[in-house]
Amino acid sequence: MLSAFTNSLKIPQLRQKIFFTVAMLFIARVGANIPLPGIDPTPIEDFLASQSQNAGGGVFGLVNMFTGGALFKGAIFALGIMPYISASIAMQLMGAMIPSLARLQQEGEVGRQKISQYTRYLTLAICVVQGAMLVRAWDINPGVLIGSSFSESIVISSGPWFFITSVLFLTTGTMILTWLGEQITQNGIGNGISLLITIGILADLPRAMVMVYQMFATPVGAETAQMGIPHAVVMVALLLVVIAAVVAITQAQRKIPVQYAKRMVGKKVYGGQSSFMPLKINYSGVMPIIFASAIIIFPAQLFQLIGGINPNLVFLNDLAAYLTRGQVVYYVTFGGLILAFSYFWVSMMFKPVEIADNLKKSGGFIPGVRPGEPTSKFLDFVMTRLTLAGAIFLTSIAVFPDLLSLQFGIPSLVSSFFGGTAILIVVGVALDTMRQIETYLLQRHYDGFLKKGRIKGRSAAMRNRQLMEASDMKEFWTVWKPLIILASLLFLCGLVAAIIN
């Protein structure tokens, strides 16, 4: 496997894509650490450092994780890439309900470009609304964002001009991140949007490692000692087991055999081939956890708000307490939401009737199942049971970090890497990126990450590889010019922010 990473730098085209991706991700991290002009994030950072056990929970803690800490820092990229993802999900859901959008989705490249344009417009509108709400929260009550009683404003000088410029900067930051993600997808390696989310999640990994070191560095028997060497061994083994389980479920699929009938075209016989249709166990991916986490937090906050305002409705505070982490009602509701959203997402994205019609038109059929409506019912039957297994797995992964945090005293930042949304996204994106790199390696006659045997004709393969490497040498200026300009602008923004603050 290590040789595969070394070989990936020997291919000029792949090396250029890797360096370009790393440079784009570096710009994203720079923008996530440049505070907006007029904002001093020091008070909120000091508070989070003193309350590292459970601070930053809830839906805003989830958003802050996706932005790599930019939300709590008041950075230019504080909104992150989430508005674009929300707009993309909304367009997908509307495509299943609005016939005109459904027709665009079936028009190939032209329709895809039109939908991408509509998605950008919707992203812009979401950014303006969320940016305005976020600036007001920073100014009036930052404690809402971190889920605590913190009330000190992080805005140095509020006013209409600060509000307008901050919303403009936040909107521009999200549109820049969207552009960076598209550039990575086109000119880099991997899916750009997914990589931006992954690098934001991994940005907290060094701080989590420092917390782990502090947990185990204290000698056993001291007052502040939390863990010993046996606990460290168990945690490492537990982390490996969780990662292995996530990889297994992410890659697991049910293979439905498909047989194609023979047909005569002139004097030639076509078809008669056997194939299979892969149905993923975790078809909905990480989306049910994100939806469930975002929805379950709002009733508790609403009950607390109403109960605090109206003395006659104090009982709502008790209901809100039942919907907090550590309560049985919370986990039952959370698991039910994950199950419901898993089936909802599959019903929106998986079209058994359309798949059955396409199989029938191409002369394919499932052995033992009649074409047409029986095929669609069979696919729906299989996917329904696969979705149940995937939802149970998602619920287990989502609840596991809370078990470590509440029952064993593990800091929430550390436990988040043992399950939940973070580990699912990181593992999924890592597998997809490694799959793309391996495709380049195999095309250039290199061994992939998993060697299955040596390639014959090594000398001929070497000559072919040298010819390919010579043909891949291009001018980098057309690709790197926008990157250099953007890096310069971000540097100037950071300099101006430092001078103002």
Residue 107 confidence (pLDDT) above 70: yes
How much of the chain exceeds pLDDT 70, in percent?
Answer: 72
Dist. CA 296–CA 431, nearest whole Å = 30
C-alpha distances in Å from residue 157, one per residue of 126, 153, 475: 25, 10, 47
Q: What is the pTM of this model?
A: 0.74
- For 182-220, give the DSSP string: HHHHHHSSS-HHHHHHHHHHHTTHHHHHHHHHHHHHSPT
> Domain 19-203 belongs to what topology?
Preprotein translocase SecY subunit (1.10.3370)
Which residue is it, tokens 């004097």? 267
Residue 479 confidence (pLDDT) above 60: no
How much of the chain exceeds pLDDT 90, in percent?
Answer: 1
C-alpha gyration radius of the chain: 26
pLDDT at 259: 82
The answer to whether 19-203 and 238-443 have equal CATH topology is yes
Listed residue (254, 251, 250, 258) closest to 278, CA to CA? 254
- Please name the helix (run of DSSP H) or strand (run of DSSP E) that holds residue 490, with its range, or none: helix 477-500
Chain centroid to CA 117: 22
pLDDT band, very low/low/confident/very high, at 59 (cuts 50, 70, 90): low
**Largest Cα–Cα separation, the chain:** 86
pLDDT at 62: 67
419: amino acid identity, one letter: G
Dist. CA 351–CA 96, nearest whole Å = 10
CB within 8 Å of 188: residues ≥ 6 apart: 17, 18, 20, 21, 24
Winning range, highest mean pLDDT, from 104-108, 163-167, 423-427:
163-167
- Yes or no: say if 204 and 69 are a contact pair by the CB < 8 Å rule: yes
- For 220-249, give the DSSP string: TTSTT----HHHHHHHHHHHHHHHHHHHHH
Give the model confidence (pLDDT) of 110-128 as tens digits. Answer: 888 888 888 889 989 988 9
> Domain 238-443 belongs to what topology?
Preprotein translocase SecY subunit (1.10.3370)
Residue 351 confidence (pLDDT) above 70: yes
Dist. CA 476–CA 481, nearest whole Å = 8
Q: Under the phi-then-psi rule, with left for phi > 0, alpha for psi from -120 to 50, and beta for the rest, what region is 264?
A: beta
Say which residue, 98 or 120, is predicted with more confidence: 120
pLDDT band, very low/low/confident/very high, at 489 (cuts 50, 70, 90): low
Residue 250 confidence (pLDDT) above 50: yes
- The neighbouring-strand residues paired with 75 are 35
Query: What is the residue extent of each domain of the chain?
Result: 19-203, 238-443
Give the model confidence (pLDDT) of 400-416 as tens digits. Answer: 887 877 777 777 777 77
Residue 274's SS3 state is strand
Upper half-sphere CA count for residue 20 (Cβ side, 13 Å): 26
Residue 459 confidence (pLDDT) above 50: no
What is the average pLDDT score of the chain? 75
Strands (E), 232-314: 253-260, 263-265, 268-270, 274-280
